[in-house]
Amino acid sequence: MSKRILVLEDEVKILELMEMILEEEGHEVVAFNQYVPVDDVIEFGAQLIVLDIRLSNGYGHLLCKDLKANPSTSKIPVILVSGADNLATIAAECGADAYLQKPFGIEELIAIVSDTIKQSKIKRNPPA
């Protein structure tokens, strides 16, 4: 169940913590503290994206919209992360597969990543 996960988070301490936790769970993690273009996401071969709404050089929810509109990345599950009060609405509007409200605990991060991976498998491989 190990996945290549792209984490985009502008707060370096949170980024490092998420990277460490997800690696301990057996995932390969590529982490950046800023916005990256869709072409870079394709190049990294991300199988799951954990994406903060506010990045130092752009907005994560706009990247999410771009990812979901691109045929090469539209199937990559995206977990939107933020402390915004209206996170559920923002996640729905940009097509995110899940969201995680800040502040969050380690168990919450592990659970949402695991659940999102399971859901993406169900959507792609429905039972016969």
**Backbone dihedral region of 68: left (phi > 0), alpha (psi from -120 to 50 degrees) or beta?**
alpha
* pLDDT given for residue 2 in this prediction: 86
* pLDDT given for residue 123 in this prediction: 60
Nearest to 54 by CA among 30, 90, 21: 90
Residues facing residue 5 across a β-bridge: 29, 48
Residuewise pLDDT in 10s, the chain (128 residues): 689 999 999 999 999 999 999 999 999 999 999 999 999 999 999 999 999 999 989 899 999 999 999 999 999 999 999 999 999 999 999 999 999 999 999 999 999 999 999 998 756 544 44
Residues facing residue 54 across a β-bridge: 59
The number of beta carbons lying within 10 Å of the beta carbon of residue 82 is: 19
Q: What is the rounded CA–CA span in Å between residue 50 and residue 18?
A: 9
